[in-house]
Amino acid sequence: MKLNVAVQMDPIARINVRGDSTFALLLEAQKRGHGLSYYTPDKVSLRGDEVAAPVQTLTVRDDAGDHFTLGEARREPLASFDVILLRQDPPFDLAYITSTHLLERLQPKTLVVNDPSAVRNAPEKLFVMDFPRLMPPTLVSRDLDEINAFRDEHGAVVMKPLHGHGGAAVFRVMPQDMNFGSLFDMFSVTFKEPWVIQRFIPGVKHGDKRIILVDGEFAGAVNRVPAADDLRSNMVRGGVAKATELTPREQEICATLGPALRARGLLFVGIDVIDDQLTEINVTSPTGIRAIAGLGGPDIAAKIWDVIEKRRGGK
């Protein structure tokens, strides 16, 4: 029996189908005969104990510029779906947190991927702090004295907002950096939450590896090499995707994280590793599926749906 699947995502008309992991998941679901529906997170409502949204049937095509067809909107209780893909992009703000509270009400009748309570309780730059022995030295703070003490100890650091995404507002701060005072002032005004200050890893010039884990198991990886004049390796910031394999240390990182991810219901996770050091655990809307497949790697979308179908009891 086919599954009745809804995807909660940002406007589908805006996505870049060539690199979008959500689109890869939708193509695979359609290939398997599952019914697809679509809605955006701003349309979700809670009335009494019913979570509902105006959903539209969805057909997808791997054709940039003509990649989807939507049906007429109809109000639908979200509990009527077998599976909901939680695939809206960050920022991880109060709107995102509220969305997880609403979707949490659908469980266990409806399988939400990733588990909304786990997404809410595992912010990407905080959850990773559960595994300090796998990481470079890292401070989460907005206190100037703490930051200066950390810089004195570690020299060059990377400074970024705790709930940032896509490589935005990521800065390298050198020892005795004359720009630090202005940068501190800018962060203080712009970001209310603490910031991440992390020892700079020079090996980032050779790439920031995105490793995908499906149900806690290694599924594929891509090395994202930054442009010569940029610190950031995100492909939306000009990073170049390169084929790669795991080092023994990266295999150890995956083995260590796997049980914690499974226990939390985090089925589709992308971790970032620079020079054998874990820097982030991405759980909100991980990317990398199409880049890995495009480099001759495994079909991760198929692996994800294998797990989903198994959890839904072979419906």
pLDDT attached to residue 235: 53
Q: In the chain, helix, strand, coil percent, each to 5?
A: 35, 30, 35
The reply to whether 272 belongs to the active site is yes
The reply to whether 224 belongs to the active site is yes
pTM greater than 0.95 (yes/no): no
Q: CA distances (Å), 300 to each of 88, 128, 192, 288, in order?
A: 19, 23, 37, 9
pLDDT attached to residue 239: 75
Cα torsion angle, 165, 15, 28, 241, sign: negative
User: Contact at 8 Å (CB) between 21 and 290?
Assistant: yes
Q: What is the pLDDT along the chain (315 residues), one digit of tens a residue?
A: 699 999 999 999 999 999 999 999 999 999 999 999 999 999 999 999 999 999 999 999 999 989 999 999 999 999 999 999 999 998 889 999 999 999 999 999 999 999 999 999 998 889 999 999 999 999 999 999 999 999 999 999 999 999 887 778 899 999 999 999 999 999 999 999 999 999 999 999 999 999 999 999 999 999 999 877 666 555 555 678 999 999 999 999 999 999 999 999 999 999 999 999 999 999 999 999 999 999 999 999 999 999 999 999 855
Give bridge partners of residue 126 from the DSSP assignment. Answer: none
pLDDT attached to residue 169: 86
Q: Alpha-carbon distance 16 to 166, whole Å?
A: 15
Residues 151, 232, 290, 303: which is the catalytic one? Answer: 232
The reply to whether 232 belongs to the active site is yes
Residues 87, 120, 210, 303: which is the catalytic one? Answer: 210
Residues 87, 120, 125, 151: which is the catalytic one? Answer: 125
The reply to whether 125 belongs to the active site is yes
The reply to whether 310 belongs to the active site is no
Residues 224, 264, 290, 303: which is the catalytic one? Answer: 224
Residue 75 CB partners (closer than 8 Å, separation 6+) = 52, 53, 54, 55
- 241 in helix, strand or coil? strand
Residues 87, 120, 160, 290: which is the catalytic one? Answer: 160
Residues 120, 209, 272, 303: which is the catalytic one? Answer: 272
pLDDT attached to residue 168: 81
The reply to whether 160 belongs to the active site is yes
